[in-house]
């Protein structure tokens, strides 16, 4: 029997320990020891398992709104030997003002050009009388231009102010002058929007 | 010669006889047929304590609340957590609070995604849902209406 490489001493086929077998044996023991150490460190933790389930409830969350005024009117207020005026009227929204809010009304007059004029009206009042100076205090200014009149309801909640959509129908005013005995009168009159 | 034979036989018997022989009595018995092994069960349902909840027409600085009842069925202790809810509307928020008794929202906030204390099996727990509109909410969100889903997750707990 031919001796295996690395063997020395002993007859052929002998199972006496040889450096090669010793090295393999030591290697196996080292691997076994490492595996045992790994299993020991892994197996030392506690394993948990539990049941989980989900369910739900649904709801709708909504934000309130400021109700607009209704039935807006424009009435001519003609005066002899005085500047004619217009009276804008409306019907207040139904219901109470939300808690913590303060209501007022806003009447705006907007011409084709220039800056709109806004006139605040306190709560509890449902009309306002307007003369040319309310539109433009400059006699030679834009007071006579045709203006669309819009009325809004507005509620202030301390740190914020909410304004309603514009009320219907829309109204309009226009201006003209008359002279009587050398005095010029600047008149506002209701017009078609 | 004879002595060598006897000595050799004794040595052989020592090696053979050095192994230990065992014998044992055995018997068997059957467990009674009506004995059964079953797994436990676990279930949770949720509902508004007062349905339908009213979270309508919030104005700046206002809040409205409603109570949810979470009920467990099955075995073992359990605990729950409530998922965060969003509205997508600036200034409109949904949050949670604990409940005093079963009908009153307290002022104590209840954190979302946080496990509750362990509850006893087959019991109900309550929490309060609060919808609030910020005092500075802008006029542009008037009339907004959003659906909100509040998810409750529950898990069982060991008895130890």
Tally of structural domains, chain A = 1
Nearest residue, CB atoms, A61 vs list B45, B47, B94: B94
Do the chains contact at B149 and A57, CB–CB below 8 Å?
A: yes
Q: Is the pLDDT of residue B151 over 80?
A: yes
Cα(A33)–Cα(A28) distance, rounded to whole angstroms? 8
Nearest residue, CB atoms, A62 vs list B60, B135, B144: B144
Let me know if residue A141 belongs to a domain.
Answer: yes
Average pLDDT over residues A22-38: 50
Cα(A32)–Cα(B131) distance, rounded to whole angstroms? 63
Q: Tell me, what's the pLDDT at A119?
A: 97
A96 and chain B in contact, CB less than 8 A: no
Q: What percentage of chain B's residues is helix, strand, coil (to nearest 5)?
A: 10, 40, 50
pLDDT band at A15 (very low <50, low <70, confident <90, very high): very low
Nearest residue, CB atoms, A54 vs list B146, B153, B158: B153
Among candidates A144, A142, A138, which has minimal Cα distance to A86?
A144
Helix (H) or strand (E) holding B50: none
A57 and chain B in contact, CB less than 8 A: yes
Let me know if residue B14 belongs to a domain.
Answer: no
Q: Tell me, what's the pLDDT at A137?
A: 87
**Can you give the residue range of the structural domain that contains A168?**
70-191
State the CATH number of the domain containing residue B48: 2.60.40
Distances (CA, A) of B121 to A49, A187, B8: 18, 83, 76
Let me know if residue A56 belongs to a domain.
Answer: no
Q: Tell me, what's the pLDDT at B138?
A: 97
Tally of structural domains, chain B = 1
B79 and chain A in contact, CB less than 8 A: no
Let me know if residue A165 belongs to a domain.
Answer: yes
A106-110, A113-117, B44-48: least confidently modelled range: A113-117
| Residue A62 or residue A27, greater confidence | A62
Let me know if residue B10 belongs to a domain.
Answer: no
- ipTM above threshold 0.90: no
Q: Is the pLDDT of residue A133 over 70?
A: yes
**Can you give the residue range of the structural domain that contains B75?**
42-157
Across chain A, mean pLDDT equals: 82
Average pLDDT over residues A118-142: 93
Q: Is the pLDDT of residue A103 over 70?
A: yes
Report pLDDT digits (tens) over B111-132: 999 999 999 999 999 999 999 9
Let me know if residue A160 belongs to a domain.
Answer: yes
Q: Tell me, what's the pLDDT at B75?
A: 85
A181 and chain B in contact, CB less than 8 A: no
Cα(B59)–Cα(A144) distance, rounded to whole angstroms? 40
Average pLDDT over residues B45-70: 95
Q: Tell me, what's the pLDDT at B9?
A: 65
Let me know if residue A148 belongs to a domain.
Answer: yes
DSSP at A63: B
Report pLDDT digits (tens) over A40-54: 445 555 666 678 899
Q: Is the pLDDT of residue B135 over 50?
A: yes
pLDDT band at A2 (very low <50, low <70, confident <90, very high): very low
> Mutate which of A61, A98, A100 to test chain B, going by most B C-beta atoms within 10 A?
A61
Note whether B23 and A123 are within 8 A (CB). Answer: no
Nearest residue, CB atoms, B138 vs list A56, A100, A160: A160
Let me know if residue B128 belongs to a domain.
Answer: yes
A43-52, A75-84, A109-118: least confidently modelled range: A43-52
Do the chains contact at A50 and B157, CB–CB below 8 Å?
A: yes
Note whether A150 and A110 are within 8 A (CB). Answer: yes
Q: Tell me, what's the pLDDT at B157?
A: 75
Q: Is B131 helix (H, G, I), strand (E, B) or coil?
A: strand
Residues 6+ apart with CB under 8 A from A164: A65, A66, A67, A68, A69, A93, A152, A153, A154
Note whether B114 and B96 are within 8 A (CB). Answer: no
Cα(A96)–Cα(A133) distance, rounded to whole angstroms? 34
Average pLDDT over residues A144-168: 95
Residue written as tokens 């209840």?
B110
State the CATH number of the domain containing residue A138: 2.60.40.10
Query: What percent of chain B shows pLDDT beyond 90?
Result: 66
């Amino acid at each position: 029997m031919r001796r295996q490489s690395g063997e020395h001493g002993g007859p052929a086929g002998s199972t006496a320990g040889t450096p090669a077998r010793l090295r393999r044996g030591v290697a196996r023991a080292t691997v076994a020891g490492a595996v045992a150490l790994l299993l020991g460190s892994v197996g030392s933790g506690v394993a948990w398992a539990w049941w989980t389930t989900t369910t739900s409830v649904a709801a709708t969350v909504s934000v309130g709104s400021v109700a607009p005024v209704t039935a807006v009117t424009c009435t001519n207020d003609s005066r002899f030997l005085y500047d004619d005026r217009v009276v804008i009227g409306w019907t207040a929204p139904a219901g109470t003002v939300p808690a913590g809010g303060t209501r007022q009304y806003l009447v705006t007059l907007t011409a084709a050009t220039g800056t709109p004029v806004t006139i605040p009206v306190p709560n509890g009042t449902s009309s306002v009388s307007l003369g040319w100076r309310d539109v433009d205090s400059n006699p030679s200014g834009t007071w006579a231009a045709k203006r669309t009149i819009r009325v809004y309801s507005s509620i202030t909640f301390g740190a914020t102010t909410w304004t309603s959509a514009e009320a219907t129908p829309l109204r309009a005013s226009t201006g003209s002058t008359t002279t009587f005995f050398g005095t010029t009168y600047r008149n506002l009159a209701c017009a078609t929007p | 010669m004879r002595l060598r034979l006897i000595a050799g036989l004794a040595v052989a018997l020592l090696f053979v006889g050095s192994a230990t022989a065992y014998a044992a009595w055995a018997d068997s018995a059957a467990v009674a047929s009506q004995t059964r092994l079953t797994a436990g069960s676990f279930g949770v349902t949720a509902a508004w304590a007062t349905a339908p909840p009213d979270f309508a027409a919030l104005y700046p600085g206002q809040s409205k609340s409603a109570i949810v009842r979470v009920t467990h069925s099955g075995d073992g202790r359990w605990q729950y957590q409530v998922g965060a809810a969003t509205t997508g509307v600036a200034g409109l928020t949904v949050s949670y609070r604990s409940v005093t008794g079963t009908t009153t929202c307290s002022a104590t906030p209840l954190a979302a995604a946080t496990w509750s204390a362990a509850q006893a099996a087959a019991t109900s727990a309550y929490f309060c849902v609060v919808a609030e509109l910020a005092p500075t909410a802008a006029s542009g969100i008037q009339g907004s209406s959003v659906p909100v889903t509040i998810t409750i997750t529950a898990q069982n707990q060991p008895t130890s």
